[in-house]
Structure 1
């Protein structure tokens, strides 16, 4: 498509790893990106973990991804809040990934008259914290959520995630949250700025039409849907938009990182 070198944004779960196991070809794909000098970021809507935590998780599967190449909805949320209200304050429901990101941009975490209530993902949602969030929002705090995903996976089955708890708070307060993570294209644009690349020559690889492909298209990126995760070829046909390319897995891009559409 162009002599310009491509940069890559790739989702993590369903693209590079699946249920704590390496997706075949993912390690070779990242090795090819490094060898070609291509810029890349691994994206995730998960706000629980810091990039250091996620690097350790990926290492256990056999993938060596540096911390600086991991971009989370927590980091995107922190950067967004810093751009809106530098050195502000927030009441946070979430884990270390979110609280660390907010601290790093100079935010103070408080439950007294915060500028924002920031809702992220946690494995231990507390009724007390949710009640406090409702009262703070009702009192004037602005409502932010890291991502709209209603459920998350676990070994025992589905878990309620950020979107479900946000719906509860929204119903109680009548205030809708502003979601920063996918499918908001803001997540993609913040990743592009972090990477220092332009949308015209950046590819988004994901396994979900409703988040990865949707946000990639809205941010002006070329998109690749892999069928190794959530979306299937059949379910993809039901959407009013289409990815640039549909492939079985990340392994299908091996040998094509300099021109991913060469054999399309």
Structure 2
């Protein structure tokens, strides 16, 4: 099978924290040289797509068009707009999430917002958690940008947005609507953005619980690379095997798969 479209995770697949994964960078170069359509699909909500584009260029020497970056932030705003509730929100998140929501015409409400939106926040405080808890208890729609319990970094696996969501779910007994991988909301929009047929496309990532499960649940071929979250020794016990498993993207053959 020759795949004609690639949906690709970033952190843990192309880079890990502040360190490039050389095989990941070469993988992108190879896609560009072959003029194969690709889309970076990331659960990262701390950066805007423009910030991600700049980071890839300046830190990792990967030049990629803005249209090749699709984030859980973009999918979250689309979902909120589709619901059509009052445009008020309380947001826990970094600039990537905050700026996108405010630029979409929403205004902050600390008391009784229509939405509580939660992503990763490096400066998270107890007061922020308390405000979110109270708003959800009053009936705000509880949205989680992504379910990642951990994020792979050069320091190790750090708490991710999913860990914050788990705390708020325990405090409110309300399950959030998850936008990012592995949910179908982001996958449907990402594949439409990429513009290739489902049967000709493949999801590439390092995290079985998000990247690979997203592909499996959506009916895509999947490529798990064990450079980030999911380790090689865990593969045999996975409930559903990915289409392909590699220890490095350098092992991928574009012509033979």
Same fold (TM over 0.5): yes
| Mapped contact 1:91–1:117 kept (Cα < 8 A) | yes
What's the counterpart of residue 42 of structure 1?
40
Deviation at 1:156, TM superposition (A): 5.5
Aligned CA distance change for structure 1 residues 165 and 14 (closer, same or farther; 3 Å): closer
Deviation at 1:29, TM superposition (A): 2.3
Aligned CA distance change for structure 1 residues 64 and 204 (closer, same or farther; 3 Å): same
SS at 2:132's partner residue? helix
Which is worse superposed, 217-226 or 100-109?
A: 100-109
1:57 aligns with 2:59: no
Distance of 2:133 and 2:176 partners within structure 1: 12
Distance of 2:111 and 2:240 partners within structure 1: 44
Matches within 5 A, 1:77-226: 77-85=76-84, 88-153=87-152, 158-226=157-225
Aligned CA distance change for structure 1 residues 7 and 227 (closer, same or farther; 3 Å): same
| Mapped contact 2:5–2:38 kept (Cα < 8 A) | yes
How many residues in Structure 1 have an aligned counterpart in Structure 2?
A: 256
| Mapped contact 2:16–2:153 kept (Cα < 8 A) | no
What's the counterpart of residue 239 of structure 1?
238
> Structure 2 unaligned runs (5+)?
none
For residues 196-217 of structure 1, the C-alpha deviation after alignment (integer angstroms, 9 at most, x for no partner) is 2332111111112111111111
Deviation at 1:105, TM superposition (A): 3.5
Distance of 2:235 and 2:100 partners within structure 1: 34
Residue number among 21, 25, 28 corresponding to 2:26 in the alignment: 28
For residues 149-182 of structure 1, the C-alpha deviation after alignment (integer angstroms, 9 at most, x for no partner) is 2233556655433222222222221111111111
For residues 221-240 of structure 1, the C-alpha deviation after alignment (integer angstroms, 9 at most, x for no partner) is 11011122222332011111
For residues 63-90 of structure 1, the C-alpha deviation after alignment (integer angstroms, 9 at most, x for no partner) is 2222221122212211222222277321
SS at 2:139's partner residue? coil
| Mapped contact 1:223–1:244 kept (Cα < 8 A) | yes
| Mapped contact 1:118–1:146 kept (Cα < 8 A) | yes
What TM-score do the two structures reach when normalised by structure 2?
0.90
